[in-house]
Amino acid sequence: MSQQVIPYGKQYITETDIQAVVETLQSDYLTQGPKIKEFEDAFAQYVGSKYAVAVANGTAALHLNCLALNIKEGDKVITTPITFAASANCIRYCGGEVVFADIDPETYLLDINKVRELLEASSKGTYKGIIPVDFAGRAVDLEAFRKLADEFDLWIIEDSCHSPGGYFTDSKGQKQNCGNGEFADLAIFSFHPVKHIAAGEGGMITTNDVDLYKKLLKLRTHGITKDESSYENSIEFAGGESDYPAWYMEMQELGYNYRLTDFQAALGLSQLKRADEGLERRRDIAKKYFNAFEGKDFIKDQSGVVEGHAYHLYVIEVEDRLGLYNHLRTNKIFAQIHYIPTHLMPYYRQFGWKVGDRPIAETYYRHCISLPMFPTLTDEEQQFVIDKITEYYK
């Protein structure tokens, strides 16, 4: 069966999505029109945050967050090595120093105990913030991270690119959605085609902090504002008499053009309406993988079925990973590896990072493989994947 390639992730575009984009293309707005605010409001409601800011992509979202939090040359920020490079790169955009802490071997998430060890080994004020990542879709326990961050006066940026719709349960038994702003200062999402919600490119920042929200709106468009109440120059200078003239605006900070287009927002909005459906399908796929591999001795570990997990990825750890990867590829199953530890990328090695520095992440990297996981994966395709894996280890 299956002559078609089965990738590890894939977008799902419906006729309704296409209609939404076409309608926007026929409207008066191509970039940042009414669909942006509509998408922001719907997204904020979906994750349960007060504010949301739509931007060009997830990396731009991370960069703007680092600017809004005022990261400067030499500031130290902690993140995980098992993530997409952008989670760390945003710190470098602002001249900060990236400090990678090791992962927890069970959850694959940034290990809070390792973070504490780093913080306690330096004088207070050495570190400025933490960027935990809801890796694979598994929600970080941000309540615990908030406590730690408060002890050391740190901010938190939650990289939720893998986890729209994910949640963890806090100490009071409450579900806390990824990106809801309850514990993290800022959170970010991506609308790249492999993510849950596809908009071509696109990103979202969520927060409950009104000051950060206003700052982000400005930074998204060149640092320019048209909010009269914040103007610094006088009405007289602006060329008005008793009011600021309609043409007037101020560039108050050094911002960027990180806007999202209106037709991308329309696509994101249309996809968001189906997000829960997709999430449910992802959880079903996870359950089927888990049951198929439970107790099999070739599986070193698999993340299992975890409550609140958004299953952007389904990762297993196996012996002879290269052999399995090649066997799957021969059968047109394009599994993927997430991730090559960021601290060992040549760019980061120049700062002194070397093999052996983060042993748990490095061991994980030698065994991990992400299996096909996307809502339109059919039962037959998934069974084919399972059969080919089982066959390899026979």
Ligand X SMILES: *Cc1c(COP(=O)(O)O)cnc(C)c1O
Q: Residue 91 or residue 324: which is nearer to ligand X going by CB?
A: 91
Question: Whose Cβ is closer to ligand X: residue 131's or residue 149's?
Answer: 131
Which residue lies nearer to ligand X by CB, 85 or 148? 85
DSSP 8-state symbol, 123: -
| φ, ψ of residue 48 in degrees (nearest 5) | 90, 25
Sign (positive/negative) of CA torsion 90, 44, 134, 154?
Answer: positive
Minimum CB separation from ligand X for residue 160, in Å? 8
Tell me the number of residues near ligand X by CB under 6 A.
14
Q: Which of residues 335-374 bind ligand X (CB under 6 A)?
A: none
Binding track, positions 96-135, relative to ligand X; x by CB under 6 A: -------------------------------------x--
Q: Does 375 bind ligand X (CB under 6 A)?
A: no
Q: Which stretch binds ligand X (CB under 6 A): 51-59, 123-131, 163-171, 179-187?
A: 51-59
Pick from 24, 59, 207, 331 the residue near ligand X by CB under 6 A: 59
Q: Tell me the CB-side half-sphere exposure of residue 200, using CA atoms within 13 A.
A: 13
Residue 87 as a binder of ligand X (CB under 6 A): the answer is yes
Position among 78, 110, 131, 161 found at the interface with ligand X (CB under 6 A): 161
Per CB under 6 A, the list member of 75, 102, 141, 159 interacting with ligand X is 159
| CA nearest neighbour of 143 among 126, 156, 162 | 156
Residues 6+ apart with CB under 8 A from 11: 193, 194, 198, 374
Pick the closer one to ligand X by CB: 40 or 159.
Answer: 159
> Nearer to ligand X by C-beta: 128 or 162?
162
Of the candidates 190, 206, 264, 271, which one interacts with ligand X according to CB under 6 A?
190
Q: Which two tokens stand for residue 330?
A: 């021969």
Give the shortest CB-135-to-ligand X separation in angstroms: 7
Among the candidate windows 3-11, 154-162, 256-264, 300-308, which touches ligand X by CB under 6 A? 154-162
Contact region with ligand X (CB under 6 A), list: 34-42, 158-166, 216-224, 252-260: 158-166
Element (H, E) at 203: strand 203-207
Beta bridge partners of 97: 76
Enumerate residues 132-151 that contact ligand X by CB under 6 A. Answer: 133
> Which structure tokens are listed for 324?
């399995």
83 binds ligand X (CB under 6 A): yes
Binding ligand X (rule: CB under 6 A), the pick from 11, 24, 49, 57 is 57
3-state SS class at 94: coil
Beta bridge partners of 318: 299
User: How big is the chain, counted in residues?
Assistant: 394
Q: Should residue 86 be labelled a site residue for ligand X when binding is judged by CB under 6 A?
A: yes
Q: What are the CB-based long-range contacts (under 8 Å, 24+) for 276-279?
A: 276/165, 277/375, 278/12, 278/196, 278/375, 279/165, 279/196, 279/310, 279/311
Of residues 199-228, which lie at the interface with ligand X (CB under 6 A)? 203
Per-residue burial over 364-388, b = 16 or more CB atoms within 10 Å of its CB, e = otherwise = bbebbbbbbbbbebeeebbebbbeb
Q: Is residue 63 a contact residue for ligand X (CB under 6 A)?
A: no
> In this structure, what DSSP letter does residue 344 have?
G
Please say which residue, 56 or 385, places its beta carbon nearer to ligand X: 56
Distance CA 7, CA 17 (A): 22
CA distance 217 to 62: 14
* Choice between 58 and 268, CB closer to ligand X: 58
Shortest Cβ 162–ligand X spacing (Å): 6
Site membership for ligand X, residue 177 (CB under 6 A)? no
**Tokens encoding 245:** 């003239």
Q: Does 65 bind ligand X (CB under 6 A)?
A: no
Compute CA distances 190 → 58, 135, 161, 165, whole Å. Answer: 4, 13, 5, 13
Where does this chain bind ligand X (CB under 6 A)?
57-59, 83-84, 86-87, 133, 159, 161-162, 190, 192, 203
